[in-house]
Amino acid sequence: MDLGLKSKTAVVTGASIGIGRAIAKGLAAEGVRIVAVARRTDLLAQLVQEVGGGLITPFEQDVMANDAAEKIAAFAVKELGHVDILVNNAGGSRPLPVDAPDSKWDEAIALNFTSYRRIAHALLPQMVERKWGRIINITGKSEPEGLNAAFAAKAAVHAWAKGLSREIGEHGITINCIPPGRIMSEQIRRNYPPDYRERFAEEEIPVGYWGEPEDLAALAVFLASPVARYITGTVIPVDGGLRRYQF
């Protein structure tokens, strides 16, 4: 299928490893020119080498910095001319005790919600002007097994994105959220030994195995395309059937 992505442009945050890296590579394979944003410049340089062809421009930036949204938007527009697609992927788990100070909650909300909102709103005016855009948010599960500030922040992303979809649809812009299931990553390999992963997959994941970043990237690339024009305001898990709720 021709997704119609050739000549499109994108910003992908958290692009140095894992899901963000896979999405950047998937978009580049479709001919999209990308500004890849992350803090680790060495990994961004490796990504550029892997893709080749001048499709990916690295940009070292911490999305939690006070002026990160403005810097990312300005750099991307200068580099690409305009931005058609935004993939909000930077984030991280934040399990907290009940008595955690406000500063820990503020940090989690800033990383997992506020940065998404600010970057999107910084890039929206030029999407509205061009009457086309795609915003894709990589979020998190809705079945927390304990208190985790990232889960609360990702729920806020879902609510914000749904509301925003009602405002921007008339401009040819869609916004959708993808909560990952158990997707293999550096952190997963470091924190969960192979025997645990195998047992968990057998007992909890209907398809019987942990996903790879490319499994999620396939959906993200589709949602970024003109073909997905009638899909907006949705939350679509990529989890091998792990979640138990019906909608």
Q: Kindly give the confidence (pLDDT) of every residue in the chain, 247 residues in length, as a single tens digit, with 9 standing for 90 and above.
A: 899 999 999 999 999 999 999 999 999 999 999 999 999 999 999 999 999 878 999 999 999 998 999 999 999 999 999 999 999 998 888 888 999 999 999 999 999 999 999 999 999 999 999 999 999 999 987 677 789 999 999 999 999 999 999 999 999 999 999 999 999 988 788 888 999 999 999 999 999 999 999 999 999 999 999 999 999 999 999 999 998 887 6
Dist. CA 103–CA 124, nearest whole Å? 29
What the block records as the tokens of 200 is 């968990």
Structure tokens at 2: 């021709």
Q: What is the pLDDT of residue 92?
A: 81
CATH topology of domain 9-185+213-228: Rossmann fold (3.40.50)
Nearest to 231 by CA among 239, 242, 223: 223
Domain boundaries, the chain: 9-185+213-228
pLDDT at 143: 74
What per-residue confidence (pLDDT) applies to 194?
Answer: 93
Do 87 and 10 form a contact (C-beta atoms < 8 A)? Answer: yes
* Amino acid 162: pLDDT: 98
Q: pLDDT at position 11, please?
A: 98
Instruction: Select from 51, 11, 6 the least CA-distant residue to 31.
Output: 6
pLDDT of residue 142: 66
Q: Where are the beta strands (DSSP E) in the chain?
A: 9-13, 33-38, 56-60, 85-88, 133-138, 173-178
Q: Which residues pair with 95 in a beta bridge?
A: 148
Residue 69, pLDDT score: 96
